[in-house]
Amino acid sequence: MMIQLFQRAAATSAILIVSCFICSTATAQPTELVSFDQYLEKKNTVAGGTPWVLEKFCPVSTNIIARRVLESYGAMFVAKDSVELPVSCVQKGEGQVLAFQKKIPRTPIDVRGVRIDLQTAAAQALQQSINEAEISGLTISALDGPIAGGRSYGDTLMLWNSRVFPALAYWIRRGKLTSMDFDELAKLALEKKVEKILEWESKGIYFSTDRSRSILTSTAPPGTSQHLSLIAFDVVEYWNPQVRSILNRNGWFQTVVDDPPHFTYLGVAESELPSRGLIAVLKNGHQYWIPNRSATIVTDSPTN
């Protein structure tokens, strides 16, 4: 069920009430409410320098992809200061991603025989989580091999296509799209392809693996994945509350609604997240920390 929880910029006490209900550690004390957009501006404006402008970083007013990407994956942009982040919410093409990844301090770690490539701070926090899990007789494993961690632009393109093509075939078989739609989509530049798919999804023609949800909950458009920033890790044991708790204690949080295996390294205590413009949302037993700018927020639902 979708509910209209609040309009962006309306950071009112209603947000705190929802946050209190589902996140005791975040709201044990009265919390000063900070909008996500305001927090980004504060974080990115250098003292004495030109004010940082959200629209330059992510043209949310004019570009549907930018807005959806920021609302779906934007939590990573409030990570602790030492985490390296892209200078725009959508990285344009492989060259830009490569240049960004080149400057990231990274440390590969071995996760039960799988090499996982992450920013050094994220790798250390994951290793600490693995160690703590072991002490409790638990395991933390990588979902689907090395792509559980850092990814290349090519990886994200491959994953995107692995959702798009089967969904196209599915909707053509169902008569909701035609082979002419397929041909026209094929001619478009990547950004326009993404726009077209989001437009179809607005009419209920979904592109996630099970065709019941947005493709954005299944995989990110190329150039926008948190995995490109080497601060995301997909966990096999995401269903285990003890594992989630260990990861949370070490700065790793679920941040993409309807993608419960996906954890993001934010590197701060959970109690600090509301003051960084994030809000906790509960869905299907999972707590997601997402930007509080989202116009609509998905709440608990039995649909998946």
Query: Which residues lie near Zn ion (CB under 5 A)?
Result: 232, 234, 262
Select 224 or 292, whichever has its Cβ closest to Zn ion. Answer: 224
108-125: string of b/e by CB count within 10 Å (b at 16+)? ebebeebebbbbbbbbbb
Residue whose structure tokens are 């090499």 = 115
Q: Is 61 exposed, middle or buried (0-12, 13-18, 19+ CB in 10 A)?
A: exposed
Which residues are CB-contacts of 262 (< 8 A; sequence separation ≥ 6)?
Answer: 226, 232, 233, 234, 254, 255, 256
As measured in angstroms, the least distance from the Cβ of 38 to Zn ion is 27
As measured in angstroms, the least distance from the Cβ of 216 to Zn ion is 12
Distance CA 22, CA 24 (A): 6
Select 59 or 146, whichever has its Cβ closest to Zn ion. Answer: 146
Select 27 or 224, whichever has its Cβ closest to Zn ion. Answer: 224
Select 40 or 232, whichever has its Cβ closest to Zn ion. Answer: 232
As measured in angstroms, the least distance from the Cβ of 262 to Zn ion is 3
Select 262 or 286, whichever has its Cβ closest to Zn ion. Answer: 262
Q: Which amino acid is at 268?
A: V
As measured in angstroms, the least distance from the Cβ of 151 to Zn ion is 9
The encoded tokens of residue 91 equal 């990285």
As measured in angstroms, the least distance from the Cβ of 113 to Zn ion is 19
Please say whether the beta carbons of 37 and 54 come within 8 A: yes
